[in-house]
Amino acid sequence: MRVIAGTKRRLNLKTVEGLNTRPTTDRIKETLFNIISDDIYDCRFLDIFAGSGQIGIEALSRGASVAYFIENNKKAFSVINENLDFTKLKGDAKVIKADFLSALSSLKGEKFDIIYADPPYAAGYEPDLLKSIIENDLLNEDGYVIIEADLKTDFNFISELGYDIIKEKNYKTNKHVFLRVR
């Protein structure tokens, strides 16, 4: 796993050992960042269920002004910090070790342009996550949320939460769903 583009291009990143995390492949990460490339520069980026931190680090490498990382797993939290130290991006980052609901609540008053979340597949966290983003008023006016999910994940509930799907990109086994608050 590596940083694909930007100021930290080609730097290798550490991953968390074991099967509890699913690092996004370089191919999928490259597709994602091609889709959002016009929105990255100088944006405020939030990476929830951050794992190794590779998505937020890619955003910083490509010009995001700041990236926040939320991760509850102790080993993953350490790996994010190691990767930020290695890439020398720690000064533009804030890493929060907490469950996602507590972390989002603690961020009330902060505003983000892009919120990226990669919750454990089939855990059912998406409704609570999306409600918490609205309740804590975390999105800038033109901001949006990207959720990485299993292909089978049903997002029919999002309308009742006040979101619209603005784009969906399907891959072989998973998808990125882009959401905007109405």
- pLDDT in the model for residue 11: 76
Do residues 67 and 45 lie in contact, with contact meaning Cβ atoms separated by under 8 Å?
yes
Answer whether residue 16 shows pLDDT above 90. no
- pLDDT in the model for residue 18: 63
Answer whether residue 113 shows pLDDT above 80. yes
Q: What is the mean pLDDT of residues 123-147?
A: 96
Name the pLDDT band for 122 (thresholds 50, 70, 90). Answer: confident
- pLDDT in the model for residue 21: 58
Beta bridge partners of residue 147, listed in sequence order = 117, 177
- pLDDT in the model for residue 20: 59
- Chain centroid to Cα 49, Å, comes to 7
- pLDDT in the model for residue 23: 67
How many other β-carbons are positioned within 10 Å of the β-carbon of residue 34?
12
- Select from 181, 126, 125 the least CA-distant residue to 155: 126
Q: What is the mean pLDDT of residues 102-116?
A: 97
Query: Residue 134: in which H helix or E strand, if any?
Result: helix 126-135
- Domains of the chain with CATH codes: 27-170 (3.40.50.150)
Number of helices (H), then strands (E), belonging to the chain: the values are: 6, 7
DSSP assigned state of 120: P
- pLDDT in the model for residue 35: 96
Q: What is the mean pLDDT of the chain?
A: 92
| Angle 94-73-44 from CA coordinates, rounded to 5° | 25
